[in-house]
A and B are shown apart, each in its own frame.
Chain A
Amino acid sequence: MGTSELKDIYSVYQNMIENDLIMIYEGEFSQEITKSVLSMAEKNFDSENIEAGIRKKVFNVMVEGLQNICKHQHEVDDKAENSSAIFMIAFNDDEYRIITGNLIDNTKIDIVKSKIDTINELDQEGLKGLYKEARLKSTISDVGGAGLGFIDMARKSGCKLVYSFNPVNPEISFFSLITTIKNTKE
C-alpha cells in the first residue's frame, strides 16, 4: 500500500469540516458497537454542554437510526458485495444531524418512500395520531416495520426527514437518511 490514502487524510478532514461531521462509523453494526457509538455521542454532549432536552432527542433519533440499520443489515447479503452500512453524527452551533446510509432491497423502496413522504406531510399533532395508529398495527406484524421508527424520528426532530435512494445494482439501492435536531431552546 502506498501513501496515497495518507495524503487523503487531509481531504477527509476537510470534508468532515465542510459537512460538520464529528464522527463516521462504517461497517457492521452489533449491539455493542451501537452502544459505543452512543457513548461517543454522549461525550460530545458533555464537552459541548448540550442541554438535557436536546440530548434526549438526539439520543432517541440515534437509537432509532441504529436500530433501523441493525434490523435491515442482512436483508441484502446475497445481493451485495457486503452489507456494510454507515452512521454519522454532524454537529454545529445550530443543530445536530444524524445521518444513516444502508443498502435496501429495491422492492422495499416504494413502501419506505411513501412512509417517509406521509410523515413529512404531517405536523406534530398528525404525527402523534399516526404513531398511535402504527403502534396498534405493529403488534400484529412487525416484519416490514410499521414505520414507527421513522415517525418517532420525525417527532423528536421537528424537521422534515431528508432521504434519497441511489441505485447500486438492479436489485439494491443505497438509502440515505438525514434527521436534523435543532439545538435551540424552546
Chain B
Amino acid sequence: MELIKNTTAKIDFVENIHNYMNKQKFMLSYRGSISQSITKSILLMTEKKMDLEHEENSVKKKVFGVMVECLQNICKPQTTDKGKDAIVMIAKSDEHYIVYIGNVIASEKKEVLSQKINEINLLPREELKEQHKILLSNNLNDSNNQAILGLIDIAKKTGNKIEFFFNDVSDTNSFFSLKTIIARAN
C-alpha cells in the first residue's frame, strides 16, 4: 500500500503527457540512442500508423525519406554528445506530417549549423539539387558533410523550410531541435 500512496501524486504525469501529445497532435516520441535497429522499428511504427490512415504512397515515401535522413545523418552519434540521448517525435495533422528531432550538441557548433540551415532554406529547388550533387562527390566520411547532405535532402523532398531552435543546456552544450514538415495532399 505504501507504494500506491507514494506514487499517486506523480501518476498525474500520464494524463498531462496524454493531453500535451493530443493537443500538439503528436503520435510518437522516442528518447534514446539512435541505433540501426531502433531506426528500423521507428520506421515500422510510422508505416503502420500511415497504413491505418490509408496514406498515399507518395506521402509515405517522403515521410520515410525525411525520417531516414533525420535518424541516420543528422541525429547521429558523431554530432551528439557521448552518452546523451536524442529525441524523435512525429506529429500528424489533417494537412501534414511533422518530424521533430532533438539532441545535445556542443554549443560551438551552433553558429555553423544555423548558418547552414539558413543557407539551405534560401536555396531554390534547382540549386538544392546542384549542391546535393557537389556534396555527394565530396568526402562522405565527414559527419558534418553527411548532416548537411541530410538537410539538403530534406529541403528537397519536402519543399518546405527547415525550422530549428537551440536551448541552452550548459556552458558548453546546447539542445538542437529541428522540425520538418511534409504535406499530406499533393
- Taking beta carbons and an 8 Å cutoff, which residues of A are in contact with B? 3, 5-10, 12-13, 15-17, 19, 21-28, 30, 32-33, 35-37, 39-40, 42-44, 46-47, 82, 84-86, 88, 99, 101, 120, 159-160, 162-164, 166, 174, 176, 178
CB proximity of A154 to chain B, nearest CB, Å: 12
Contacts of B45 in A (CB 8 A): 25, 33, 36-37, 40
A30 in complex: contacting residue of B11, B27, B52, B167, CB < 8 Å:
B52
Contacts of B26 in A (CB 8 A): 24, 26
Contacts of B102 in A (CB 8 A): 9-10, 13
- Apart from A3-B179, A17-B85, what 18 extra A-B contacts exist at CB < 8 Å? A10-B102, A12-B20, A13-B85, A21-B29, A23-B29, A25-B45, A27-B27, A33-B48, A40-B42, A43-B40, A43-B41, A44-B32, A86-B18, A120-B4, A162-B7, A176-B11, A176-B14, A176-B15
Q: Which residue of B lies closest to A27 (CB)?
A: B27
A-B contact pairs, 27 of them (CB 8 A): A3-B163, A6-B100, A7-B167, A12-B29, A16-B31, A21-B31, A23-B28, A23-B30, A23-B31, A24-B21, A24-B28, A24-B29, A28-B52, A30-B48, A33-B48, A36-B47, A39-B41, A42-B41, A84-B18, A84-B22, A86-B21, A159-B3, A160-B3, A164-B11, A174-B14, A178-B7, A178-B11
Q: Is the CB of B12 within 8 A of A9?
A: no
Instruction: Provide the B32-74 mask, 1 if CB < 8 A to any CB of A, else 0.
Output: 1101011011101101110110000000000000000000000
Q: Is the CB of B48 within 8 A of A36?
A: yes
Q: Judge whether B134 is part of the interface by a CB distance below 8 angstroms.
A: no
Q: Is the CB of A36 within 8 A of B177?
A: no
- Taking beta carbons and an 8 Å cutoff, which residues of B are in contact with A? 1, 3-4, 7-8, 11-15, 17-18, 20-22, 24, 26-33, 35, 37-38, 40-42, 44-45, 47-49, 51-52, 85, 87, 89, 100, 102, 163-165, 167, 175, 177, 179
Of B14, B30, B87, the most chain A CB neighbours within 10 A belong to: B14
Contacts of A21 in B (CB 8 A): 29, 31
Contacts of B24 in A (CB 8 A): 5, 8
Of B12, B18, B100, B165, the most chain A CB neighbours within 10 A belong to: B18
Q: Is the CB of B48 within 8 A of A9?
A: no
Q: Is the CB of A32 within 8 A of B3?
A: no
